[in-house]
Amino acid sequence: MTVLVIQPSNISPLGDLETYIVEEQIPYTSIQIERGEVPPTSDAGFTALIVLGGEMSVNDKALYSFIESTQQLIRMFHEKSKPILGICLGGQMIASAFSASITRMPTKEFGLTLLHKTSSANSDPLFFDLPKRMKFMQYHEDVFSLPTEALQLCSGDVCEQQAFRIGSKTYALQFHPEVNARIASEWVEHFGQQNRRVEKIDGSDLAEAQSWAAHLFRRWLTLV
């Protein structure tokens, strides 16, 4: 039982998700793209796949060879009903792997933003008892359309597509539930003032987001 983690960028680590992986004593292998590491060519030996965020665009496959190889892994894991979780860029890679479009927003979405749970999410194993409205951390400028075979789970006021599921075990998120106070502080320092001039993140809102994220992560890990 080993989870394969693809981390495209140093600034988007596992965060709180690592806490729950360790808590459940689940072994994992992390591929650090910015360190020059390369994703495996097969899903053999891995029971689940996590693809994290990054500042790259899925549309820049010619510049980043790991995007195509990661999407091949996504298709492999999905075809074998192995659990997949994609966050931000990872979610966009899942969407693109299933022929959805990836487009650029007029402005970046940054900070804690309000999301709305769809009616379909009420029967989803991960989202069913989350509130109808909740805030989660965001940092992105690309967005995905909804794949034809996907079930939308969350929407946003600025970015319509925020979460979907394909089949029973493939989840794509646009938002960042893994972000903790340390990561949020680093993001504000590096990106805050150039993105809507966000100068700080509300600690109580972030703590609430982390509590809902714990539900999502623990439930997803039961699929592994």
Q: Say how many CA atoms lie within 13 Å of 37 toward its Cβ.
A: 14
Average confidence (pLDDT) over 188-207: 73
Average pLDDT (65-86) is: 98
Question: What are the structural domains of the chain?
Answer: 3-221 (3.40.50.880)
For 6-53, the pLDDT digits (tens) are 999 999 999 999 999 999 999 999 999 999 999 999 999 999 999 999
What average pLDDT does this structure show over 111-116?
Answer: 95
Q: What is the 3 state secondary structure string of 160-201?
A: CCCEEEECCCEEEECCECCCCHHHHHHHHHHHHHHCCCCCCC
Q: What is the pLDDT of residue 202?
A: 84
Comparing CA positions, the residue from 49, 54, 33, 142 lying closest to residue 96 is 142
- What are the structure tokens assigned to 18, written together? 């690592």
Q: Is the pLDDT of residue 195 over 60?
A: no
CB 20 within 8 A of CB 217: yes
Structure confidence at residue 189 (pLDDT): 82
Instruction: Check if the beta carbon of residue 179 is closer than 8 Å to that of residue 15.
Output: yes
Average confidence (pLDDT) over 184-199: 70
- pTM here is 0.96
**Look-up of token digits 């069913």:** 128
End-to-end Cα, the chain, rounded Å: 8
pLDDT tens string 119-172: 999 999 999 999 999 999 999 999 999 999 999 999 999 999 999 999 999 999
pLDDT tens string 179-191? 999 999 889 887 7
User: How high is the pLDDT of residue 193?
Assistant: 57
Are residues 49 and 56 in contact, defined by beta-carbon separation less than 8 angstroms?
no
pLDDT of residue 194 exceeding 70: no
Strand order in the sheet with 3-7: 28-32, 3-7, 48-51, 84-87, 170-173, 163-166, 150-156, 102-117, 133-144
Q: Is 207 exposed, middle or buried (0-12, 13-18, 19+ CB in 10 A)?
A: exposed
Average pLDDT over the chain reads 95
